[in-house]
Amino acid sequence: MNPEFVFIILLAFTSQVIAKNVDQVHKCKPDICGPNAKCIDNEDDKVYNKLKQPYCLCEPKTIGKPPNCMIGCLKNSDCNGDEFCDVDNKMCKKVCEHSCNSTETCHDSKKLCIGKCRDHDDCKLNEICDIGHSCVAGCRSDNSCKDNEYCNDDLKCINVCAKANCGENSVCNGYNHIQHCACEEGYIPEKGVGCKQKEPSHSFVELDELECHNFCGDYASCIVEDDIIHCYCPKDLRSNPIVACPPPLLFGTSKPEYCECCEQAIDPDCAVPISCALDADCVVEESLLP
């Protein structure tokens, strides 16, 4: 046989063997990565193209490195969206199946448990218990709100001046959850009317509470601050206190001459005595006392 021909045949065979081995180097082999891992030989994979060879990667919900990938987790991001990582046991668990007790409500998206409530007392001071038995933002009384807010019928804190009715040439300020009406600079309150032009000689610095009532409307209370008279209705947010407030009543009665703000009155929310109308007589019924 022609030696030259034999050489050509051997060269062709050797080239096929080399090409086959090179191709095998660039392809994944069975079980090369170990348990709980996968081999990547995808030409579209960036890491594969950078390494120019297959590489191993641990499967989701596993920890460690190939070939020692173990099922488990080290942090919440190792788990699915509705799961959390039980770090002690290194296991992914469903949030609502394992983490919340019988007194809590589960929130998948937040990966946390929120305590159920039976009534408002189970919640924080600035929270209320809603119909779903969860504590949500809200108020239970005026004291749950800021000083210039009150708690409305929907259990929401509302600015006391939101619907103020102080009249012209006046301003509203909220103190102790009550709207206070005061005349603008250069004006003074005129009982039963509103704000009128102030005379240069007027000064209220030494004005006491009794004299203050000569400027505010009937049944209104008042204070003097920085030479300014502030009129307010003790328990009403709709009336103009410079004109008049609703007449006070003793708890359990309907007669305006019975005033609820006397010190001995049964009403636990009793205001200071001066908030009674000046021409009202306070009568304490023995049968109404505790």
Tens place of pLDDT for every residue, the chain, 290 residues?
555 554 445 444 443 433 344 445 568 887 888 888 888 888 777 777 777 788 888 887 788 888 888 888 888 777 877 777 887 888 887 766 655 655 566 655 545 566 667 777 777 767 888 776 777 788 878 888 888 998 888 888 899 988 878 888 888 988 888 888 888 888 888 888 888 887 776 666 566 666 677 788 888 888 888 778 888 887 777 788 888 888 765 544 444 444 444 444 434 444 444 344 444 444 544 443 33
Residue at 143 is within a domain: yes
Residue at 222 is within a domain: yes
Residue at 217 is within a domain: yes
The structural domain count of the chain equals 4
Quick one: how far is CA 43 from the chain centroid? 50
Residue at 6 is within a domain: no
| One domain, residues 216 and 196 | yes
Domain boundary, last residue among 36, 71, 106 = 71
| One domain, residues 226 and 184 | yes
* Residue-range definition of the domain harbouring residue 59: 23-71
Domain boundary, last residue among 71, 104, 127 = 71
**What span, in angstroms and rounded, lies between the C-alpha atoms of 165 and 151?**
18
| One domain, residues 180 and 200 | yes
State pTM to two decimals.
0.43
